[in-house]
Every structure is written in structure tokens, then in C-alpha cells.
Amino acid sequence: MSQTHAIGLSPPWDGSTTLNVAARCWLLVTILGQWAFLAYLLGFYGRTFVTGNPQEWNLNHLLPRGFVAADPHWDLYFGAHVMLAAVIAFGGTLQLIPQIRARAIAFHRWNGRVFMLTALGGSLTGLWMVWMRGADLGGGSTLGPLSVSVDALLIIAFAAVAWSRVRQGHIESHRRWALRLFMVANGVWFLRLGVFGWYVLSGGVGMTTSGTGPMNYFFDFADCLLPLAVLELYLRARDGGDFSGRIAAAATVLASTAYMAVGMVALTLVQLSLVSKL
């Protein structure tokens, strides 16, 4: 026993508190950003469904392909894909709130099932849109569709593992895989934050309007792989890291959170302008 423990003083600072604070900051920004995204999806796309004016999707010039009057199958799949994204934005963040998990476990379980099925549906509709219907995500390059495929395959794999772990009763392992699933299921949202944050901080260096710049391709793949990398760093530091490892992980999480916040503000302003046009 150390001398500080022997005389009743607090144990040495090991960085765990700093890491926990960083994680809570990330969670807060993520919840705010996801629900702002949900409000946009409902306020823009949801309103067009209610009013019967899907042609107004084309007000969003950032879409690779919006409403196509002569292609109702595309419009149906795109509309379903957007609504699945709304479910992910709402239900996914509820899964991250520990108070819900602790006090409403039945809701947590059913909401988790809905989230997994929705993520799988979103991944499959995304694959259909880029490979079967040719949604151009990379200026004619195959890198855009390839990045969507990587994300979709990770969603399918992580959902399968998370489900099998909880069925086997390995709850802690299930939580880790569910967190990984959350990261990849929100790849499109992270992509938006990355791109808008980059425009604010650099003016869009390395990006083109056609989506063929080196930073365009970077964000195409970083949308799911970078959040996964930050998550893995956090999990390893939380579960078995030393002081320096926890501080390094906390700094990385805080820097990522700050970048997300910049992108979130810029994205939200653009989304508000789109909703105001309806």
C-alpha cells in the first residue's frame, strides 16, 4: 500500500476522470448534433412527405441525386433511406444514455433491436442506390461507392456480432460492439461533420464541387473509419491504459469533439436555410 493510501489521502491521479469528462463531452455534442440532424430530416423531408411535394428534395443541391419524377422506385428507396436515418438519429442516441440503460432496460433492449434493424435497412438501401441505381458519390470514380460498401459491410458485421454477444450473455462485449455499430451506422452524419468542419477551418482545401478532390476521398472513407479509430483508442485507454495513455486518449476525444462541434454548427446553419425554403 502506498504511503498516501496509508494515511487516508486520495489515490494518485491516473487520468480516468479526465478521460470520463472527455467522453461525456463527446456524448453531449453527439446527442445535440444527432437531434439537430433529426429535426432537419423531419422538418425538410418529413414536411415534403406530409404535403406531397417530394420534388422539393431537389432544393438540397448537396444530394448526388434527389427526386426523379420518372423514377418512382428511386424516389421510394431514397425516401425510405432518409426515414431510416431519422430513426437511427433518434433511437441510436437513446442507446448511449446510461440512465436509460440503467432504469429502463426493457426499452433499451427493444430500442436496440429497432436500431440494429434500421441500421441494416439503411446499409442495404445505400448499397442498392450506389451499385444498382448508380448514385454518383465520387465524381464518376468507384471510390465513392466503394466507401459506401465498406461502411455497409461494417454495419452488417458489427450488428451481427453485437446481437450474438448479447444473446450469449456477454453484456460488456455487446456494449463495445454496439458502440462500434453506432459509429459506422452514423457514417453519413460523420461525413457531413467532417466536410463542413473542414470547409470552416481550411476553406475547403483539397476539395472540389464534383467530389473528386483528395480530401473528398479522404472523408468518404474517414466517415466511419476515423470515428472507429477514436473509439478504439478510448476503449483501450479506459479498460487497460496507463496515465499517459488515458491522457492521450482524452486529448484525442476532446479534439475530435471540438472538430465535430465546428462541423455541427456549420451543418445546422445550412440545414436551417433549407428548411426555411419550404
DSSP-assigned letters across all residues of the chain? --HHHHTTPPPPP-SHHHHHHHHHHHHHHHHHHHHHHHHHIIIIIIHHHHHT-GGGGGG-TT-SS---TT-HHHHHHHHHHHHHHHHHHHHHHHHH-HHHHHH-HHHHHHHHHHHHHHHHHHHHHHHIIIIIS---SSTT-THHHHHHHHHHHHHHHHHHHHHHHHHTT-HHHHHHHHHHHHHHHTHHHHHHHHHHHHHHHHSSTT--TTS-SHHHHHHHHHHHHHHHHHHHHHHHHHHH--HHHHHHHHHHHHHHHHHHHHHHHHHHHHHHHHHHT-
In tens, the pLDDT along 5-36 reads 444 434 456 789 999 999 999 999 999 999 99
pTM across the whole model: 0.89
Task: Return the closest-CA partner of residue 97 out of 161, 22, 30.
Answer: 30
Cα–Cα distances in angstroms (integers) from residue 211 to residues 144, 148, 206, in the given order: 9, 14, 10
- Please report the pLDDT score of residue 143 as a whole number: 78
What average pLDDT does this structure show over 237-256?
93
In tens, the pLDDT along 72-98 reads 888 887 888 888 888 888 889 999 998
- The residue with greater pLDDT, 128 or 94, is 94
- Please report the pLDDT score of residue 136 as a whole number: 61
- Amino acid code (one letter) for 34: Q
How many Å apart are CA 21 and CA 231, to the nearest integer?
Answer: 15
Mean pLDDT taken over the chain: 88
How many Å apart are CA 86 and CA 115, to the nearest integer?
Answer: 11
- Asked whether the predicted pLDDT for residue 153 surpasses 90, the reply is yes
How many Å apart are CA 57 and CA 66, to the nearest integer?
Answer: 6
